[in-house]
Amino acid sequence: MLYAHQNFCEISLISSSALSEAKPANAQKASGRSSGGGSDSSGGGSAGGGGRRGGRKEDSNWWTRLQKIPWDDKEFRMYFLSAAAFWTTVGYYFFFRNAAQEVTWKDFVNSYLSKGVVDRLEVINKRYVKVIFSPGKAPVSGYVWFNIGSVDTFERNLETAQVELGIEGENRLPVVYTSESDGSFLLSMLPTVLIIAFLLFTLRRGPAAGGRPGRGMGGLFSVGETTAKVLRDEIDVKFKDVAGCEEAKLEIMEFVNFLKNPKQYQDLGAKIPKGAILTGPPGTGKTLLAKATAGEANVPFITVNGSEFLEMFVGVGPARVRDLFVLARKNAPCILFIDEIDAVGRKRGRGNFGGQSEQENTLNQLLVEMDGFNTATNVVVLAGTNRPDILDPALMRPGRFDRQIYIGPPDIKGRASIFKVHLRPLKLDSSLDKGTLARKMAALTPGFSGADIANVCNEAALIAARHLSDTITQKHFEQAIERVIGGLEKKTQVLQPEEKKTVAYHEAGHAVAGWYLEHADPLLKVSIIPRGKGLGYAQYLPKEQYLYTKEQLLDRMCMTLGGRVSEEIFFSRITTGAQDDLRKVTQSAYAQIVQFGMNDKVGQVSFDLPRQGEMVLEKPYSEATARLIDSEVRQLINTAYQRTHALLSEKKAEVEKVALRLLEKEVLDKNDMVELLGQRPFAEKSTYEEFVEGTGSMDEDTSLPEGLKDWNKELEFLF
């Protein structure tokens, strides 16, 4: 039996196998037209919205395009001039040097040296020789040149050639040795220059550039700058979009009211709390409440994620914390929100074996910055986490986070309010009233968080669209609840007839056991259609209950064991399908004995059970106590099993009725169960009105105290 969500709409599933169980959406670009002024992508748009005039396409004019180049940008001018100088130099060396012709040594001797037209020879860089002709005797324009192997070889060959040609003494050619740059040096340096240019570009514009525009050099030099975002009018979420946590909303409204009207509090000698931390399970609306605060505050809202303080570079975290609070002081009055603060606020001294922890240094800097705040700076620090138990005590003390605001799963009135928020944009059937539908859905979803409710509404719309419905009906919402709790329905999964029969009797055992146990939850539906990981499921409707007695917990255990007992009674064998049921029963038994002190032999003691996935190095009790606990757990489970066996043996005919009807229809609801078994012998609540009876009002109390009725307005009459 698998309860897909703890404490809500419990679904009992028969496990399919014990072995197996062991591009953001492209932002639509602006259409190109700016309303009223500025140029647009289609070419129109002068400052008055004049558009095109005289039928002339101004954007096609080269002068108009040239004027659009950002010559006033200092950085653009630097890049442009650097590129121009580089390509000018390259062009000079490759295109504008004097024309020259390469010849061989034999051609030089026969065509030039022998004819006496050579004035002198210049050996350039000991690699080649430039032939300089006598004035007026140049047989070609420019000059000619030839390569040499080495200077010594060249000199010997030249002397030999002149001897053979009969050139003696003072008529012999002078040889001059010079050095020139032929561009090869630039070519050899080009890779180095490109690498340096790339590094400079990376330092200024690369992905490590976390700094805000206009602050420092950017890039790696700004890695210590905060990555926080300052939001002013960019959030559309308002407090009217947040429901189910009215008390937390009042706390946040008070912070905003202080920033807008500090005199209302200061006249009484009050000081605004320096910070508040929002805690609670995932999906209950902590970050959503922060977004609503940003949308309503009318003051700068600075947001940053706790993980953004942690980098591979030493000292980056503390530097970013310092820069964050400098930014907050500059924008005061403002609200600073640190999401998932447990990433940086973990308790110090854990897992640090002799080394200095960067996370601890970052936390220390955060503690100093928060405690060093002056209450007159009008900066409020909010933080969110779902792991307050691992935060450092120094961070949680008054003076840093003065208030801890717990946002838990909403009650039935809160769920109705949340459903009303998420039903606003949906196209419902005309026969449905949103208020009535919200109450019905709230009664069917005990234990759901705000995120779960949003998911249900979205799934209902998707299901309606899948069936090409024009509107969303109540049936679509009921299917969405089953989809969220139990998983996807698998009508095509092939089950052997024997397996299907076993699943039917297993689920019938759950249903009949819960029907005749006083403290078991009311049954909503039982099915043998595979859904999610299970081959069958039974859906119940738990009460809005926070305290449980031993008798109530025992009835729940018996109902959970009904599937395994039914298999044993009807088939004299057991299967792996009860693996999840046994896990739930074992957890409940250990909780009763170890945590809740509900065992006479173990006594009135309470020990913390390890969290799932948490490594336990040592138990908080002795080995003798551990053996006693194990023994009592087995005895408690055996007691529940025997009680369930006796109940289902007595109601064997009823179990068989339900199982046979399941094999025939595959899905049974409460009306079918009443038809087969008669009315349940115990009173039960199933409607919204029955659940809220005696609680004071039908809806959530959203009234504001007198001092917060104008919480988002500046009051000028206070003295």
* Predicted local distance difference test score (pLDDT) of residue 266: 82
* Predicted local distance difference test score (pLDDT) of residue 292: 85
Instruction: From 242, 233, 204, select the one nearest 220 (Cα to Cα).
Output: 204
pTM of the model: 0.67
| 597 class by beta-carbon count within 10 Å (0-12 exposed, 13-18 middle, 19+ buried) | middle
Confidence of residue 695 (pLDDT cuts 50, 70, 90): low
* Predicted local distance difference test score (pLDDT) of residue 179: 83
Q: Which residue has the higher pLDDT, 379 or 631?
A: 631
Q: Is the pLDDT assigned to residue 41 strictly greater than 70?
A: no
pLDDT tens, position by position, 238-250: 888 888 888 888 8
Q: Which helix (H) or strand (E) holds 474?
A: helix 474-486
User: Which of 75-84, 454-463, 535-544, 685-694 holds the top average pLDDT?
Assistant: 454-463
What is the domain partition of the chain in residue ranges?
A: 11-17+488-607+621-686, 103-184, 219-406, 430-486
* Mean pLDDT score of the chain: 79
Instruction: From 386, 395, 333, select the one nearest 363 (Cα to Cα).
Output: 395
First to last CA, the chain: 64
User: What is the pLDDT averaged over residues 56-67?
Assistant: 59
Structure tokens at 48: 């008055």
Q: Is the pLDDT assigned to residue 215 strictly greater than 70?
A: no
Q: Work out the percent of the chain whose per-residue pLDDT is above 70.
A: 78
Confidence of residue 521 (pLDDT cuts 50, 70, 90): confident
User: What is the pLDDT averaged over residues 614-642?
Assistant: 88
* Predicted local distance difference test score (pLDDT) of residue 621: 85
Give dist(CA 235, CA 225) in Å, integer.
Answer: 24
Residue 507 appears among annotated catalytic residues? yes
pLDDT tens, position by position, 360-369: 888 888 888 8
Residues in Cβ contact with 156 at an 8 Å cutoff, skipping those fewer than 6 apart = none
* Predicted local distance difference test score (pLDDT) of residue 598: 93
The vertex-705 CA angle with 700 and 708, nearest 5°, equals 110
Confidence of residue 315 (pLDDT cuts 50, 70, 90): confident
User: What is the pLDDT averaged over residues 114-119?
Assistant: 86
CATH number of 219-406: 3.40.50.300
Q: Is the pLDDT assigned to residue 547 strictly greater than 50?
A: yes
Q: Which residue has the higher pLDDT, 610 or 220?
A: 610
* Predicted local distance difference test score (pLDDT) of residue 377: 67
Which letter does DSSP use for residue 66 in this model?
A: H
Instruction: From 103, 82, 89, select the one nearest 147 (Cα to Cα).
Output: 103
User: What is the pLDDT averaged over residues 450-457?
Assistant: 93
Q: Which residue has the higher pLDDT, 103 or 257?
A: 103
Angle between helices 74-95 and 184-205 (to 10 degrees): 170
- In the chain, the amino acid numbered 660 is L
pLDDT tens, position by position, 161-195: 888 888 887 888 888 888 876 666 667 777 888 88
Q: Which residue has the higher pLDDT, 351 or 167?
A: 167
CATH 1.20.58.760, applies to 11-17+488-607+621-686: yes
User: 507, 567, 654, 700: which one is catalytic?
Assistant: 507
Q: Work out the percent of the chain whose per-residue pLDDT is above 90.
A: 22
Indicate the range of 78-87, 254-263, 275-284, 371-380 predicted with least confidence: 371-380
Instruction: From 94, 151, 309, 290, select the one nearest 223 (Cα to Cα).
Output: 309
Residue given tokens 């009860």 in the structure block: 578
Confidence of residue 477 (pLDDT cuts 50, 70, 90): very high
Half-sphere exposure of 582 (CA within 13 A, CB side): 14
Torsion of CA 103, 104, 110, 116, to 10 degrees: 50
* Predicted local distance difference test score (pLDDT) of residue 462: 95
Instruction: From 510, 488, 440, 485, select the one nearest 673 (Cα to Cα).
Output: 510
Instruction: From 500, 225, 278, 568, select the one nearest 407 (Cα to Cα).
Output: 278
* Predicted local distance difference test score (pLDDT) of residue 274: 80
Q: Is the pLDDT assigned to residue 665 strictly greater than 70?
A: yes
Helical segments of 176-285, H only = 184-205, 246-260, 263-266
User: What is the pLDDT averaged over residues 581-591?
Assistant: 94
Residues in Cβ contact with 262 at an 8 Å cutoff, skipping those fewer than 6 apart = 272, 378
Tell me, yes or no, if the two domains 219-406 and 430-486 fold the same way.
no
Q: Is the pLDDT assigned to residue 343 strictly greater than 70?
A: yes
Q: Which residue has the higher pLDDT, 320 or 201?
A: 320
Give dist(CA 598, CA 551) in Å, integer.
Answer: 11
Q: Is the pLDDT assigned to residue 209 strictly greater than 60?
A: no
User: What is the pLDDT averaged over residues 651-674?
Assistant: 90
Q: Which fold has domain 430-486?
A: Helicase, Ruva Protein; domain 3 (1.10.8)
CATH number of 103-184: 3.40.1690.20
| 314 class by beta-carbon count within 10 Å (0-12 exposed, 13-18 middle, 19+ buried) | exposed
pLDDT tens, position by position, 276-309: 899 988 888 888 888 888 777 778 888 898 888 8
Give dist(CA 552, CA 544) in Å, integer.
Answer: 14
Give dist(CA 405, CA 180) in Å, integer.
Answer: 79
Sort strands 275-279 and 403-406 into parallel, antiparallel or unpaired: parallel
Q: Is the pLDDT assigned to residue 36 strictly greater than 50?
A: no
